[in-house]
Amino acid sequence: MRTSIATVSLGGSLTEKLAAASRAGFDGVEIFENDLLASPLTPEEIRGRCADLGLTIDLYQPMRDVEAVPVDEFGRNLRRARHKFEVMRRLGADTVLVCSSVSPLAVDDDALAAEQLSQLADLAQEFGIRVAYEALAWGRHVSTYDHAWQVVEAAGHPALGTCLDSFHILSRGSDPKGIEDIPGEKIFFLQLADAPLLAMDVLQWSRHYRCFPGQGGFDVAGLVRHVVRAGYTGPLSLEVFNDVFRQAEAGPTAVDALRSLLVLQEAVGVAELPAPVVPTGVAFAELVTPDAEPVSAVLGALGFVRAARHRSKPVDLWQQGDARVLVNTGPAARRDGTGLAAIGLESPDPEGAARRAEALLAPVLPRRRAREDAPLEAVAAPDGTELFFCATGRPELPDWRADFEDVQHTPAASDIRRIDHLALTQPWHHFDEAALFHQGVLGLDAQESVDVADPYGLLRSRAVTGADGGVRIALSVGAAPADDTVHAQHIALDTRDVVAVARRFRAAGGLLLEMPANYYDDLAARFEFADGELATYKELGILYDRDAYGEFRHCYTRTVGRVFFELVQRDGGYRGYGAANAPVRLAAQHAARRLTGG
């Protein structure tokens, strides 16, 4: 189906918005009236710009409070409509949206509404324009889609149809099944938006908290299925009012928006994408750093050994069990110090995974990073992290380690088994999009989003995981743009025995994050422990949590650059990430940073 986006969904000037929509790959746009009014371009110039960009203008919505009003008021409305239809003629837009009236002048009289909408449609026809009448969820007398359709049906005018809007329908709790009773050719337009399930005044909710399909709590795909069954053949158009999107750069938002429509069309069954290839594990995490020494010291103290070195680049492979960390001191090293730059995902079908990612608009990275390198499928996540789809020790597929040459080393320790999870800090404006990316592109499941109190603001965190826990990625975002760099990324390592690993780490000179004594007093109040157990945790800064499935013990290294390591021990099927301990951990990290001036 054709895809479209309302300019109000994007930030910036009208021309920035149009360029972003075109670059992302949309077929058309809805022009929001304020964007046109504020633009220095004439309607003809906007039309030309859209044509150059390969965008149709699918809808214009300059009319408010049109119908079911006293006759003199309606006369003024028709006068206004004539002006606006003239603008639309210049713009080359042939569908006008008319939302159900919220005016205190409107009367509860469907026959009058139908009669006046017919008159409006008569006028529209003179300009070659169709009128799409939509029920606002907070419309004064018409607030449901079936009621709006009754009015349209009663009018029986060829240039009058209805516009369906997933937000207005689903926020009212209406059953979208009845959409199938509307003849497809009378559905003139379909606007799509999702929203988180908040109990909030619906007008506020709509104006500020809408999001792209798949990011919220509505079954938008279910609704679209009914609309398709009704025979609708127009575009799927995103109309998303959101405070955050308004501030964000239009380019990435437009890409996220179109990705949500692609995933939606796949769910509805009207588009076919390469099937998801769910990664089964983490092959490696790659750190870039201008100075390998501090990170190598931490890895060494954790019992990792430098097992191999890249044949052509300054990249070391550190290993213990199935946990592999690459330390890259090449030109990719960020100026802002040590950071987590790439993740190797163990993939059953690396090529298929890359094909799906590409179809879902993920930037594909060069398959070879240097001429000598073996080809490796890779894409960029929205936060810039490089994702490699690769295979480790599977004879039927090339092994990514082929580019590495073993170096002589003593055997590694064996307490660390694998990477338990990776925690990635997301850019402020693109948190929800990140979750959608990891779900849609990688086929991971998104868990509930949780708020964590940091001393200097709230942190939102959301995990995306593979079905078997083989891949776990915790996405987090700070409360304000400035926090992008405050909260470090981290690599969590799965241990058999966190106490033993922590002890060895400390004995080897490693610095563990210290936790306050008050935390352990609280643990003593909440749980019962064996003699001496709490004293050990306190000594090593080990935190404790419990859920319905099992127990969780974890501790943290001090931060190196923008990265730290977490040591975790999961027992009995514990499913979480120790979120209950996050406020204490974050405060300890702030305190440590202040101490070291970092």
Residues in CB range of 342: below 8 A, 6 or more apart: 285, 286, 326, 378, 385, 386, 387, 388
Q: Does residue 584 interact with a second copy by CB under 8 A? A: yes
Residue 591 interacting with a second copy (CB under 8 A)? yes
What CA–CA distance (Å, rounded) separates 370 from 367?
9
**Segment contacting a second copy (CB under 8 A): 9-17, 251-259, 302-310, 337-345?**
9-17
Least spacing, CB of residue 435 vs a second copy, in Å? 20
Number of other residues whose CB lies within 10 A of the CB of residue 536: 14
Among 51, 480, 508, 535, binds a second copy (CB under 8 A): 480
Question: Nearest-CA neighbor of 443 among 420, 400, 473?
Answer: 473
- Cβ closer to a second copy: 42 or 414? 42
Calculate ∠ Cα 107-109-110, nearest 5°: 130
Residue 522 pairs in a beta bridge with: none
Q: Smallest distance, Å, CB 60 to a second copy?
A: 12
Among residues 111 and 453, whose Cβ is nearest to a second copy? 453
Q: Calculate helix-pair angle for 14-24, 250-268, nearest 10 degrees.
A: 40
Structural contact between residues 31 and 265, judged by C-beta atoms closer than 8 angstroms: no
Site string for a second copy, 59-78 (x = CB under 8 A): ---x----------------
User: Alpha-carbon distance 181 to 47, whole Å?
Assistant: 35
Q: Which of 79, 368, 394, 496 binds a second copy (CB under 8 A)?
A: 79
Q: Which of 42, 414, 485, 596 binds a second copy (CB under 8 A)?
A: 42
Would you count residue 13 as binding a second copy (CB under 8 A)?
yes
What's the closest the beta carbon of residue 249 comes to a second copy, in angstroms? 9
Q: Tell me if 464 sits within 8 A of 408, measured CB to CB.
A: no
Q: How many CB atoms lie within 10 A of CB 52?
A: 11
Residue 325, SS3 per DSSP: strand
Query: Is residue 40 involved in binding a second copy (CB under 8 A)?
Result: yes
Distance from C-alpha of 564 to C-alpha of 510, rounded to nearest angstrom:
12
Stretch in the footprint of a second copy (CB under 8 A) among 11-19, 94-102, 304-312, 440-448: 11-19
Is position 239 annotated in a ligand binding site? yes
Tell the smallest beta-carbon distance from residue 432 to a second copy (Å).
Answer: 17
Q: Which of 23, 49, 80, 593 binds a second copy (CB under 8 A)?
A: 80
**8 A C-beta contact, residue 32 and residue 9:** no
Interface residue with a second copy among 2, 526, 571, 573 (CB under 8 A) is 526
From 36-44, 114-122, 131-139, 181-189, span contacting a second copy (CB under 8 A): 36-44
The Cα 476–Cα 478 span in angstroms is 7
Q: Which residue of 270, 275, 482, 508 would you call a contact of a second copy, by CB under 8 A?
A: 482
By CB under 8 A, tell whether 201 contacts a second copy: yes
Residue 31 DSSP SS3: strand
Q: Which of 181, 243, 372, 406 binds a second copy (CB under 8 A)?
A: 243
Nearest alpha-carbon partner for 279 in 362, 343, 215 = 343
Q: In what order do the strands lie in the sheet with 551-556?
A: 445-454, 457-465, 472-477, 416-425, 489-495, 563-571, 551-556, 543-546
Judged by CB under 8 A, the stretch of 271-279, 362-370, 380-388, 474-482 that binds a second copy is 474-482
- Taking CB under 8 A as the criterion, which residues in 437-456 touch a second copy? 453-456
Name which of 408 and 518 has its Cβ closer to a second copy.
518
Alpha-carbon distance values, 163 to 60, 125, 182, 580, 593 (Å): 12, 17, 11, 46, 55
The annotation status of 191 as a binding-site residue, yes or no, is yes
Identified binder of a second copy from the candidate list 222, 457, 470, 550, rule CB under 8 A = 457
71, 507, 525, 548: which one contacts a second copy (CB under 8 A)? 525
Q: Closest distance between a second copy and the C-beta of residue 36, in Å? A: 5
Q: Binding to a second copy by residue 510, rule CB under 8 A? A: no
Among 145, 388, 519, 574, binds a second copy (CB under 8 A): 519
Select 127 or 456, whichever has its Cβ closest to a second copy: 456
**Size of residue set near a second copy by CB under 8 A:** 54
Rounded CA separation 461/422 (Å): 12
C-beta neighbour count of 316 within 10 angstroms: 22
Looking at beta carbons only, is 109 or 551 nearer to a second copy?
551
Q: Characterize the bridge pairing of strands 339-346 and 386-390.
A: parallel
Q: Name the β-bridge partners of 342.
A: 286, 386
Q: Which residues pair with 366 in a beta bridge?
A: none
For 182, half-sphere exposure in the C-beta direction (CA atoms, 13 angstrom radius) is 30
**C-beta atoms surrounding 317 within 10 Å:** 24
Q: Name the binding residues for Mg(2+).
A: 421, 490, 566
Give me the residues that bind a second copy (CB under 8 A), please.
Answer: 11-13, 33-34, 36-43, 62, 79-80, 83-84, 87, 198-201, 204, 243, 246-247, 453-458, 479-482, 514, 516-519, 521-522, 524-526, 583-584, 586-588, 590-591
Write out the binding residues: 134, 165, 191, 239, 421, 490, 566
In the annotated binding site for a divalent metal cation, the residues are 134, 165, 191, 239
